[in-house]
Amino acid sequence: MTSIGTGYDLQNSVFSPDGRNFQVEYAVKAVENGGTAVGIRCKDGVVLALEKLITSKLLKPEANKRIATVDRNIGVVSSGLLPDGRHFVSRARDEAADWRRLWKGPIPTATLANRMGSYVQAYTLYSSVRPFGITAIVGGWDSEADVPVDGEVGSGPKVGSGGKKEGAHGGPYLYMIEPSGLYWGYYGAATGKGRQIAKSELEKLNLSEGNLSLEEGVKEAARIIYVAHDDNKDKEFELEMTWISSVDGPTKGRHEEVPKEIREEAEKLAKKALEGDDDEDDEEKMEE
């Protein structure tokens, strides 16, 4: 913590002489303590998963959902300060609604990520505010089918002027937005406590090849959350998972919670994989 005592970390929006905004870096620290969140961009959809740390035994299991929906086709999961996450979601929903009012259709995931990046960035510019203490993963499916304009009543001309343009569009999108406002599009994104392990696991999936199916993605996401969780150090956790499939997939282009059966199956496999790892370790030790 080279910043301590220099005075450059006492106010937001102020640079240190070597070009850093310490308040933003402290915000990143807040994120690093949060439960691990993971997003995987699969060929036919997006999976979001969260290691929801149980802060009290008095909390009702499976209640208090943390992954939020924006419009119908976008999911947001964040790690860090929970209230900041909720404000982020609230703003994202307003952005999506404003977009709809203007364009009579759903906001593209890329546009939402861009707008939210700008919004988060603005909180690094003023002394009267503090940066967001979250890193948010935004996943969405932009419809590949012709989406009717809201309130559209007819199908319009079939050919010629005003006719529909053929060709592929839409698809899965995944973005991660950091406290600085920095955001990139990712094949796989991870944040929170277990992000390092999660990222190395994500890399092994070769997501850039675009072969991973949504169903496999769900299993991988569950496994990664379990791998990233540290049984000894961390509190107990619940796995929360949502997904967005293509229009002809299981969620019909909507952001929904992964059905309980599928999630539990994925968790079973995740636990089994972990035990397998332990066995291997044991065997290795035996050999030694």
Partner 1 sequence: MNHLPQAWGRPRDDVYGAYDQSHFQMGGPNQHTQSPIVTGTSVVAAKFKDGIVIAADNLASYGSLARFTDVKRLRKFNDQVVVGFGGDVSDMQYLDRLLNSLDIRENYGSDGTPLNAKNLHTYLSKVMYKRRSDFNPLWNHLLIAGLDGEDKPFLASADLLGTTFSAPTLATGFGAHLAQPILRRSIPDEAAVPNVSREEAVLLVKEAMKVLFYRDARSMDKYSIAVVTKDGVELKQDEKLESQSWAFAEGIRGYGTQVN
Tally of CB atoms within 10 A around 113: 25
With 0-12 / 13-18 / 19 or more C-beta atoms within 10 angstroms meaning exposed / middle / buried, residue 274 is middle
Given the complex with partner 1, which of 107 and 190 has the nearer CB atom? 107
Given the complex with partner 1, which of 66 and 195 has the nearer CB atom? 66
- Spatial distance between the Cα atoms of 273 and 32, rounded to a whole number of angstroms: 26
Which residues are bridge partners to 176 per DSSP? 137, 184
The three-state secondary structure class of 280 is helix
Tell the smallest beta-carbon distance from residue 154 to partner 1 (Å). 4
Which residues are bridge partners to 53 per DSSP? 237
Tell the smallest beta-carbon distance from residue 12 to partner 1 (Å). 30
Given the complex with partner 1, which of 29 and 104 has the nearer CB atom? 104
87-106 per-residue burial string, b: 16 or more CB within 10 A, e: under 16: ebbebbbebbeebeeeeeeb
Given the complex with partner 1, which of 65 and 235 has the nearer CB atom? 65
Tell the smallest beta-carbon distance from residue 284 to partner 1 (Å). 44
- Spatial distance between the Cα atoms of 245 and 261, rounded to a whole number of angstroms: 17
Tell the smallest beta-carbon distance from residue 109 to partner 1 (Å). 15
Return residues touching partner 1 (CB under 8 A).
Answer: 65, 68-69, 71-72, 93, 96-97, 100, 104, 150-155
Given the complex with partner 1, which of 20 and 93 has the nearer CB atom? 93
Tell the smallest beta-carbon distance from residue 257 to partner 1 (Å). 8
Token pair 């030694």 is at which residue? 288
